[in-house]
């Protein structure tokens, strides 16, 4: 269909979005070419000095970026596997099905910045319940928040708790809308549950899976509240992610110009890599 009316549908949303965003984006680009900081709050022009600094003299940003990649990919994979498993279980008849479904949805309704405070007390190494209960079993206190390696996994645990429901919801809804015929056919062929999953369920779910994974990757790459409250990027810089690093540079140290450089670079990298990931996933999961 092609009517001139199509613009009436598209343009309000598009222009509102562009209208709200155009200034911030141009501003960020311009800011990234300035040396705006706490002592010289001016939109002066310093060329690509900031970019040179970023690419030649800021390993911390790149470390934080790789750390972010590790954290977001790991959390999303875990969320996908667990979410899919949960969805498969409550898809079919099971006792207290609806109860479980509601329970499984709840974590994503909580505000991360508030919930993470609870997690911090939960994982508190000497005053939290986890180490205390483990202590009763004779396990030595685990340094949930203060060991550089374990702290990463604590962040992952909290993220998985918070966002697996999102994956679960998308995948469960996907399962519920699958056509029945292929399953009947597989049942007639006497396929085992495992084969049924590999040859029927999974291929049918591939497009939904890709959408869910990409959206979760987008969201997971912004991970910040959790790190902020849980570990402040510590110990050392062990849990610092890109957006948290940008936050530190921008709002803690007030190097606005440089933070804008980081932001813009980050955006470009993210858009490119997410596009590539989407393409690769499509190739891998959908067999034509």
Partner 1 sequence: MEKLYKFLKYTFIILWTVFIVAPFLWAISTSFKDFQSVNSKVTYIPWLDFEPTLEGWRVLVKSPARGGVDIVEPYFNSLFVTCTASLISIVLGTLAAYALSRFTFKAGFVRNNDITFFFISQRIMPPIVLSIPFFIFLSTIGLLDSLIGLVVVYIVLLMPIAVWIMVDFFNRVPKELDETALIDGCNPYQAFYKVVLPNSIPGLIVAGMFCIIFGWIDFFFAFILTFTEVQLLPVKVVALNSSITPWWSLSASALISVAPLIIVAFVVERYLSKGNLSGALK
Partner 2 sequence: MNLVAKNLTYKPDDQYHLNDVSFNFEKGRLYTILGRTLSGKTTLLKTIAGLLNPDSGNINFEDKNFSKVPVWERNVAMVYQQFINYPHLSVYENISFPLKQRKLNEEDIKKNVDDALKTVGLVGFENRKIQELSGGQQQRVALARSLAKKAKILLLDEPLVNLDYKLREQLREEFKTIFNEGLANETILIYSTTDPQEVMELNGEVIVLDEGKVLQTGPAKDIFENPINLKVAEISNDPPMNIINGLKIDGKITFENINIKLPKHLSQLDNKNYNFGIRSSEIKLDDSGEEFEIELAEISGSETLLHLKRGSTKVIALIEEVMNFKIHEKVKVEFNSDKFYVFAEDGKLISSPYRIKNG
Partner 3 sequence: MKTIKTCVTALISALLVFSPVAYADKWSDQFPHIKATGDIPGECSYESMSKKNYKGKTLKINTHAVPVMGEPTALHAEQFAKLTGAKVDVTHTPAGDLYAKAMVPFQAGQAPYDIVFGFSNFINDWKRYLEPVPKKYVEMKQMQDVTPSHIGIASWDGVMYQFPVDGDRHYLKYRKDVIDNPKYQKKYKADTGKELRVPQTWKEYGEMAAYFNGWDWDGDGEKEYGSAEVMKKDDLMYAAFYSRSAAYSKNPKTPGGFFFDLKTMKPLINNPGFVEALTDWVAATKYVPPGGINFGLGDEIGSFGGGQTLFSFSWDDAFVAAMQPDSPINNKVGAAQLPGAMKVWNRTTNSWDEGFNQAPFFVWGWAVGVAKKSKEKEMAFDYLCFFANEANHQADIGIGRFGVNPFRNDDFKADVWTQIGWDKDIAQSYVDTLAQMEESKNRVFPLRVPGTFEFNAALATAAAKALAGQLSPQAALDEAAKQWEDILNRVGKDNVRKAYSVGVAMEDNKL
Task: Tell whether residue 3 is a contact of partner 2 (CB under 8 A).
Answer: yes
Q: Which residues contact 97 (CB under 8 A, 6 or more apart)?
A: 90
A 10 A CB-CB count for 74 gives 17
Q: Kindly tell me which of 1 and 127 has the beta carbon lying closer to partner 2.
A: 1
Name the minimum Å distance from CB 221 to partner 3.
22
In the complex with partner 2, the residue whose CB is nearer, 3 or 39, is 3
Kindly report the three-state secondary structure assignment for every residue of 215-270: HHHHHHCCCCHHHHHHCCCCCCCCCCCHHHHHHHHHHHCCCHHHHHHHHHHHHHHH
* Tokens 């959790």 belong to residue: 226
Q: Does 187 bind partner 1 (CB under 8 A)?
A: no
Based on CB atoms, which residue is closest to partner 1, 152 or 242?
A: 242
How far apart CA 84 and CA 285 sit, in angstroms, is 15
The token pair at 151 is: 């702290």
Minimum CB separation of residue 145 from partner 3 in Å reads 4
Beta carbon nearer to partner 1, 148 or 208: 208
Supply the minimum distance, in Å, between the C-beta of residue 249 and partner 1. 9
Rounded to an integer, what distance in angstroms lies between the CA atom of residue 65 and that of residue 82?
A: 25
- The verdict on 1 binding partner 2 (CB under 8 A) reads yes
Token code pair at residue 253: 């140290």
Shortest Å distance, C-beta 120 to partner 1: 8
The binding track of 40-59 with respect to partner 1, each residue x by CB under 8 A or -, is --------------------
CB of 89 to partner 2, least distance (A): 29
Q: Which does 150 bind (CB under 5 to 8 A by kind): partner 1, partner 3, partner 2, none?
A: none
Q: How far apart are CA 270 and CA 184, in angstroms?
A: 42
Summarize as ranges the residues that interact with partner 2 (CB under 8 A): 1-3
């Amino acid at each position: 269909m092609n009517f001139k009316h199509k613009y009436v549908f598209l343009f309000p949303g598009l222009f509102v979005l562009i209208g709200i965003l155009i200034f911030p984006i141009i501003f960020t680009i311009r800011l990234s070419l300035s040396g705006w900081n706490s002592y010289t709050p001016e939109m002066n022009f310093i060329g690509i000095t900031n970019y040179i600094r970023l690419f030649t003299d800021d390993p911390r940003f790149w470390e934080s970026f790789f750390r972010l990649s590790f954290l977001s990919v790991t959390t999303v994979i875990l969320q996908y596997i667990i979410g899919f498993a949960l969805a498969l279980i409550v898809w079919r008849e099971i006792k207290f099905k609806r109860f479980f479904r509601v329970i499984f949805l709840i974590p994503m309704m909580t505000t991360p910045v508030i919930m993470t405070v609870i997690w911090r007390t939960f994982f508190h190494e000497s005053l939290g319940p986890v180490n205390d209960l483990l202590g009763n079993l004779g396990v030595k206190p685990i340094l949930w928040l203060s060991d550089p390696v374990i702290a990463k996994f604590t962040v992952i645990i909290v993220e998985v708790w918070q966002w697996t429901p999102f994956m679960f919801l998308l995948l469960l809804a996907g399962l519920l809308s699958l056509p029945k015929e292929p399953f009947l056919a597989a049942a007639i062929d006497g396929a085992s549950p495992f084969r049924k999953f590999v040859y029927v369920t999974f291929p049918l779910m591939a497009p939904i899976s890709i959408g869910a994974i990409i959206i979760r990757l987008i969201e997971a790459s912004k991970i910040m509240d959790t790190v902020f409250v849980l570990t402040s990027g510590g110990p050392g810089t062990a849990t610092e992610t890109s957006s948290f690093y940008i936050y530190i540079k921008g709002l803690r140290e007030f190097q606005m110009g440089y933070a804008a450089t980081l932001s813009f670079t980050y955006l470009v990298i993210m858009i490119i890599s997410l596009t590539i990931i989407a393409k690769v996933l499509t190739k891998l999961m959908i067999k034509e």
